[in-house]
Structure 1
């Protein structure tokens, strides 16, 4: 599968480019970015073409991987789908429900496959745990803490990200927490409560279709010593915790590419496709509304 990369920022450099270039079933064709110099630099580092026009890249590939801010991703993903390209996307799918639905509709109309890269869903240890818990009954509560120090540490490459500054932890790490809770506890019927904490910290309470409830604590401004992710489930079977993973982002993204290849070949949607990404966006948008209403 010929694939192109959209984006040249830290995530494209750290994860996407290494994963695409090292994948045995992908032909990494080229890079398009919003700035000429970084585009050429990243393309040269991997011996691929630097594209000036994004539509020219679409015409040369079978798929695109996107490492761009959500609003730009949504626009270009819909254009790529209409050009017949399969989609390897990042979370969140889009910053609004309308933009997310446009991506889903474009992919469906074009008959292309899509996978949204929720990291935890593509790490073997955590993916196996999610599958196991999703097969169990009797969950009563779930608790997710996704606490980052992007804005409180000294060395995060994402600290200057404008969209993260604007949208905060709800939209950056909230998708990770939801990607774990939803397949186990079922879809969220509603966001029953939402409150602000220190910095960009957000606390949510969700009511799930299974009858269970969950709480989420999300932050990008946690003290570095307090940062980390944890998920706890409690139910009739007892208590279980999300295991830690030793996988790198590159390895996890390689598995996401495997999932896209499989979905493209079989025509069977992956559980983390654009439609799931849209559902996560809908929940985040609802939470944002509850927060705005106080």
Structure 2
């Protein structure tokens, strides 16, 4: 499948681009970015072509991978879907419900495949764990309680390549790592009926969620913890005991290659991946509700 890459930032350069260039079933036909010089640099490194016009790149490919801020991603995803291109998108899909709905509506109209890169669902160890706990939760009793805590030093550690990201600084951890937490809690505990947020130290956000069927969960999200205090913890509790999320055992580049595989399968007419644009839209809705309570 011929892919175009939209975006030239650290995530595109470290993850999307290398994974696409190395994939046996992908031809990376080109790169477009908002800065022409950055597109030329990345395209040279990936041994492909830089495009000055995103529509010209859409005309030459079958699918796009997007590594752009969410509210730049959403309208470009609509344009790509309208051009009949399959979509490999990043989270969050958009930071407004209207923007996310426009993407899902375009996907439905065009009949294209979509996958959104919720990293834990495409990393071997954590994806396997999520599948196993979903099966347990579907049985008698199910999961009753859950928590998902993401402690990141992005804005406490000046060496992070993502510290210069304006949209992350503006939207904070709720929108950047909140999608990861919700991508664990929602599939395992059920659809969310209510969510409330509270602010903590630095940019920390605490969430409390109520799920269909009576389960409840919490999430704590921060980009300003010291590096020594960083980490990811997630668990669910119920009649089956306690299940804790294992550590990720792959690089983001390897995980992204699995997301490419998922899009290829969906484009061939196999079952849509659970992390499609519709799921991502539901996450944007929850984040919007949480934001309104802060």
Check whether TM > 0.5.
Answer: yes
* Mapped partners of 2:90, 2:97: distance in 1: 16
* Mapped partners of 1:244, 1:146: distance in 2: 13
Q: Does 1:99 align with 2:92?
A: no
5+ unaligned residues in a row in structure 2: which ranges? none
Q: Pick from 235, 257, 261 the counterpart of residue 260 of structure 2.
A: 257
SS of corresponding position for 1:106: helix
Q: Pick from 201, 208, 211 the counterpart of residue 204 of structure 2.
A: 201
| Maintained 8 Å contact 2:88/2:263 | yes
Equivalence for 1:90: 90
TM-superposed CA distance for 1:233, in Å, is: 1.0
Where do residues 104-115 of structure 1 align in structure 2 (5 Å cutoff)? 104-115=104-115
Number of residue pairs matched by the alignment = 290
TM-superposed CA distance for 1:267, in Å, is: 5.0
Equivalence for 1:218: 221
| Maintained 8 Å contact 2:3/2:28 | yes
SS of corresponding position for 2:219: strand
Equivalence for 2:23: 23
TM-score by length of 1: 0.97
Give every structure 1 segment of 4 or more consecutive aligned residues whose post-TM-superposition deviation is greater than 6 Å: none
The superposition leaves residues 117-142 of structure 1 with CA deviations (integer Å, 9 ceiling, x where unpaired) of 00000011111111111111321110
TM-score by length of 2: 0.97
* Mapped partners of 1:225, 1:258: distance in 2: 35
Equivalence for 2:150: 146
Equivalence for 2:191: 187
5+ unaligned residues in a row in structure 1: which ranges? none
TM-superposed CA distance for 1:154, in Å, is: 2.5
* Mapped partners of 1:185, 1:213: distance in 2: 8
SS of corresponding position for 2:208: strand
